[in-house]
Structures are given as structure tokens and as C-alpha cells.
Amino acid sequence: MATEHEHVPVLLDRIVELFTPALADRDAVLVDATVGLGGHSDALLEAFPRLRLVALDRDPAALERSGERLARHGDRVDLVHTVYDGLPEALEGLGLSHADGILFDLGVSSMQLDRAERGFAYSKDSPLDMRMDPTTGFTAADVLNTYSPGELIRILRDYGEERFAQRIVRSVVAEREKEPFTRSGRLVELLYDAVPAASRRTGGHPAKRTFQALRIEVNGELEVLRRAMPAALSALAMDGRIVVEAYQSLEDRLVKQAFAELAKSRTPEGLPVELPGHGPELKLLTRGAEKADEGEIEHNPRAASVRLRAAQRIGEPR
């Protein structure tokens, strides 16, 4: 069942404001690379009556739900089942070469968290799945039961920034030898025992970092994002804008680096003029990463961890 926050898009007013110069009063194309339940897309289609939307998602259930929500906009909407690094192919398949706006709302969606059978939420005992596209790929249970101790430690450290990775993995290996992991409740119980009590008092729920790490590994989220950022930026039209909402530091760092690289001039230092074709490709539209204010967080708790960055194309792709 939907929660009261399920249909509340994060930083919606700010996103509409950022896209307005690129989308208002003209025929324009927006790619929502992670359409989810369609909240942002619905508002953008409403705000810009001449907008055409290309909505991507790897989760078939999300596409179905967003399709129902966006049906009132008729043929202005194209739904595409793909991971967001498939953005260029999605545009090409629709006969489009560029997008005037591109939106990424990264991470796990409210719908995925709320459906216990998906296995994303550590607050509910459920199958250890965590696949954003449940029709393909390996599950979180497969990772726990088959990865070597060294691989598990790396995942927890790199993707969950978990200080107690070694302790947790020792416990996982001992337990999986008795019986393979199948449900989240057993893993959460193990994590309560493995993470020291002092850390539990100050570091949040002991399962948070491990569940994040498993989800990122199962869905290849960082690898996909590394491919998706340059692909999306190459598809951005002149004066087009890209907006990215990230909810954890690893994703935000990748976005920051991708933007910063293309916002730099390649003209050698000391030259009095910019060399043709060597100027910045992007203009940064946000100073650092923007966050939600206290009022929005109170209304929509998912906004608490958001980090928003935006950029505009000002030069030809390199």
C-alpha cells in the first residue's frame, strides 16, 4: 500500500525552476532517466505544455505505475524499459538525437521501499532480493551466500562505508555455512549482534550501511552511473540543462566529478584568450550540492539526504 510520502517528489519546485529556461515556451524534450512513480515528470509536463517526455526506468512495476499517472498527458509521453545508462539508445530508438533537459533521481524509490517483497527495507522481514529490475540478475541473497569473504568486505567498505565490515563478514560466513541466507530479518539480527552497541547509539540503524552496499552491488549502481553521466551529458542539447538528485555520498561524488571535468577550460594557463573549441562545456548552476530545507524534510522525510546538482551546456561536446 502506498505511504503518505510515496507520491511526494523531492525538491520539486526547485527542479521546475532549474528547468524553466530550457523548457518553457518551446517544443522541448526531457528525459527522466529514473521516472519511478512519475511525480517529477507529471509536474514538469504540467508546467511546460509543449514538452515531450522520455521516461526511463529499469523497474517494470515503476513504469506501469508511472504510465498510469502520466496517461493524462497522452502522446507527449514515451515510456522505455531500460537502465539509465541506456539513455542514448532510448533517444535513438525514438528518432531523437538530443534532449533539452535530463533528470536523474537516483537511489531506491519509495515504491520499492514500501513493497516488502522487494527486500530493500531493513525494517521489514522479506526475501533478500533488492533487484531494481526483478526480471533479471542476481539477488542480495546470492551475494551473501556465494561471494568470497574478501569480496564481501570490499563491498561493505566501498559501497557502504562500513567500519565494521570484517566483523560483519566473519559472522555472515559462519552463519551461511549453517544455512544459506534467504530473508532480511535474519541478516538484520546478525547485524545487531555484529555492530558494537556504542556505534548503534550514534551511527544510526546497524543495517543501513550493509543494505546500501548490497543494493549497490546487486544493481551495479555506481558502474551504471559512471557510464550514464558521460552518455547523458553527450546527449544534452546546447543550452540544455541536467539536474541530478543523489541520496548518498558515493553517487554525489561521481556526479560532482563528471560535472566539474566538463566545466573546466582546456585552454593552457597563461594564454590571454580562450582557444576555439577549448572552452568549458558546462556551466554549473548550483554552488556545491543543494539540500532540502527543514520544512520539506518534515513534510517528506526522504528529502533529508538529498544532494542536488545542476548544469547547463554552454559548449559543444568534446
| Residues flagged as binding site for S-adenosyl-L-methionine | 38-40, 57, 84, 105, 112
- Neighbour tally for 63: CB within 10 Å: 20
C-beta separation of 250 from 237 below 8 A? no
Could you list the residues known to form a binding site, using ranges: 38-40, 57, 84, 105, 112
Instruction: Return the sign of the alpha-carbon dihedral for residues 29, 33, 39, 40.
Output: negative
Give me 85's grid cell. Answer: 545508462
User: Could you tell me which residues come within 8 angstroms of residue 302 by beta carbon, excluding any fewer than 6 positions away?
Assistant: 5, 8, 10, 110, 247
Question: Phi and psi (nearest 5°) for 5?
Answer: -100, -5
Task: Spell 232-259 as b/e; 16+ CB within 10 A means b.
Answer: bbebbbeebbbbbbbbbebbbebbbebb
Can you list the pairs that 45-48 forms with residues at least 24 positions away whose Cβ atoms lie under 8 Å? 45/70, 45/73, 45/76, 45/77, 47/16, 47/20, 47/23, 48/19, 48/23, 48/24
